[in-house]
Structure 1
Amino acid sequence: MKARSLLFDLWGDYIQHVGGEAWGSTLAAFVAPFGVSEPALRQALSRMARQGWLEVRKVGGRTCYALSQAGRQRIVEASRRVYDGRDTDWDGRWRVLVYSIPEAMRQRRNDLRRELIWTGFAHLSHGAWLSPNPLEDSVQALLRRYGIEDYATLFVAESVGNLEPAELVRRCWDLEAIQASYDRFIARWAPRLASAEVRLQSDEERFVEEISLVHDYRKFLFVDPGLPLQLLPSPWRGHDARNLFQTYYQTLRPGALRYLERHFEPTG
């Protein structure tokens, strides 16, 4: 587990709920059970600050880290998708983003593509992306963040070409591959849930298991676009994976919280 990804997990799972900021020493205590060294932690924190996810402040000889506005928006959205776990209803409309970004802004264009995939958009054609979800505000925030409002237009449409919704979904997303990813998640974690009471004897072990579970489940943010219920095939293995995640998470949470609270030092 890379230090940067682990820090995002920790902020989403705990730190955002206790003020949103933490001392460097607190973060070191949180990542130590995962084998992350202090130099690797400092490097990850520095990188996250350079990328605009974190804000850093000095208090005496100590360093405190807090999410930036962009970081808070990312964590709130990720937490909703990971922990909320409810199917959404489709309003029957598609969001189509069309852009033409100059080659001189290639890096921003590449960054936007990655963000669109994470948000749940699919590549429709050259310079065009598609989602059935009401992501207008998220898209506008992305365009502002990268300074490309003048190069992109977001449309809301009731149909795209002459394709039926189910056919359009199959064309844009590899649903069989997503189903297979959920099967692998279930195959890994169902036996661990069944044996947890015997295997996990300490709060530290439950904490490590919980964050590992969250980390593995959070990967679906980059795989599953969160399609509305009406556009999902039946049966959908994502439902089984979600139920497994929520059950195991609630099983591990009391012990993990005890560990987190034992090592968390308030910054205020």
Structure 2
Amino acid sequence: MTGEESLRPQSLMLTFLGDQVLGRDVCVYSGSVIDVFARAGIGEQATRSTLTRMVGRDLLRRQREGRRMYFGLTERSEAVLHDGAQRIWQTGAVNRRWDGTWTLLGFSLPESWQRQRHDLRSQLTWSGFGPLFNGLWIAPAEVDVSALVAELGLSAHVKVFRAHADTGMDIGRMIEETWELSELADRYQGFAGRWQHWEDDLPDADDALVLRLRLQTEWLQIVRRDPRLPVEHLPADWPAEPAEKTFRTVHERLSPLAEEASERLLDLVPARQSG
């Protein structure tokens, strides 16, 4: 099973940790991780390199038990995983609760600041913004970008406002001109097409664990790129809701088998207080 694009080992690792470690106050044996990732087609060297890089980025911490090395979460990775879980299970893919508020962000950067301009645009895109005009970006709902702007060192060059559209404004047309709806729709349709047959078929337990890992990772990548535009201003056949139904149905079917496999394959120990 492959997604619309290659799933990076770190993305799969975060999903794995969110499933098996988050909220349980445990650490997982490196050999168990290597075993599961081998079943996902990721070699031992790549898995070990991913674990090492994540330790270096403060996304994992090591815990030695005898001759075995275990890995547990840090405050940073817990925050990342809680955010992902909320995006999947609470926020959802369809925005039915929009109150009409938009966030407008204007910026003016020196012409020579090409890297800063690129970084700002990239971060705004991941935060759900679209380019309304050159130097003026817009997002549905109230979006707090203060930390983002401060981290980039651009607070003096950015202005943020809350706004409502004027009466008679064609919001649907504005959305079509500002966001690449066709690309987002293709992602949802592609996801549903790849996973629908698992609504009826069942793999064996070991395959179910890997399939659920890929399912959640791919779904999170899609919904994190979705600005969650108000559904009343999207095309009537918008594919997010059917795709989300496929995700939840397949996840529910895979989970009993995946949990059976994890109980058999994973070596977990209680996490000790670091420091």
User: Which bracket does the TM-score occupy, shorter chain normalised?
Assistant: 0.7 to 0.9
1:118·1:221 contact (CA, 8 Å) conserved in 2? no
Aligned with residue 102 of structure 2, among 74, 94, 114: 94
In the alignment, is the contact (CA less than 8 A) between 2:29 and 2:268 conserved in 1? yes
1:21-60 counterparts in 2 under 5 A?
22-50=28-56, 52=57, 54-57=59-62, 59=64
Alignment of 1:62-211 (within 5 A): 62=69, 64-69=71-76, 71-84=77-90, 85=92, 87-101=95-109, 107=115, 109-136=117-144, 139-159=145-165, 163-196=169-202, 200-201=203-204, 203-211=205-213
Aligned to 2:3: none
Distance 1:112 1:147 in 2: 10
Identity, in percent, stands at 25
Alpha-carbon distance in structure 2 between the residues aligned to 1:140 and 1:212? 33
Within 1, Cα distance between the matches of 2:55 and 2:136? 31
CA distance in 2 between partners of 1:151 and 1:267 (Å): 48
Aligned-residue offset at 1:177: 3.0
Residue 225 of structure 1 aligns with which residue?
227
Change (3 A) 1:259 1:144: farther
Look up the match of 1:254: 256
Indicate how the Cα distance of structure 1 residues 121 and 24 shifts in structure 2: closer, same or farther if over 3 A, else same: farther
Paired AA for residue 73 in structure 2: A
In the superposition, the TM-score normalised over structure 1's length comes to: 0.81
CA contact (8 A) 2:209 2:257 kept: yes
Structure 1 runs not aligned, ≥5 long: none
Identify if the C-alpha distance between structure 1 residues 77 and 168 changes in structure 2 by more than 3 Å, giving closer, same or farther.
farther
Over 3 Å counting, the alpha-carbon distance change for 1:39 and 1:237 in structure 2 is same
The alignment status of 1:266 with 2:274, answered yes or no, reads no
The runs of 5 or more residues in structure 2 that have no matched partner are: 1-6
Residues 63 and 71 in structure 2, CA contact (< 8 A), matched pair in contact too: yes
Contact 2:212/2:255, CA 8 A, preserved across alignment: yes
Amino acid at match of 1:159: A
- Shift in CA distance, 15/152, structure 1 to aligned 2, threshold 3 Å: farther
Count of equivalent residues: 260
Q: Which deviates further from its counterpart, 2-11 or 78-87?
A: 78-87
State the distance in 1 between where 2:228 and 2:122 align: 16
8 Å CA contact 1:9–1:215 kept in 2: the answer is yes
Amino acid at match of 2:132: L
- Cα deviation digits, residues 32-83 of structure 1 (max 9, x gap): 2112223212322333445x451434547635342443x4333322222223
Alpha-carbon distance between aligned partners in 1 of 2:197 and 2:78, rounded to the nearest angstrom: 34
CA 1:56/1:121 → structure 2, altered by over 3 Å: closer, same or farther?
same
**Alpha-carbon deviation of 1:189?**
1.3
Contact 2:9-2:50 within 8 A present in 1 as well: yes
AA of the residue aligned to 1:124: L
1:85-117 CA-to-partner distances (Å, cap 9, x unmatched) read 363411111112223456787556544433332
* Letter paired with 2:102: W
SS at match of 2:132: strand
Task: Check the 8 A contact 1:93/1:156 in 2, yes or no.
Answer: yes
Contact 2:103–2:141 (CA<8 Å) still a contact in 1?
yes
| One-letter code aligned to 2:206 | E
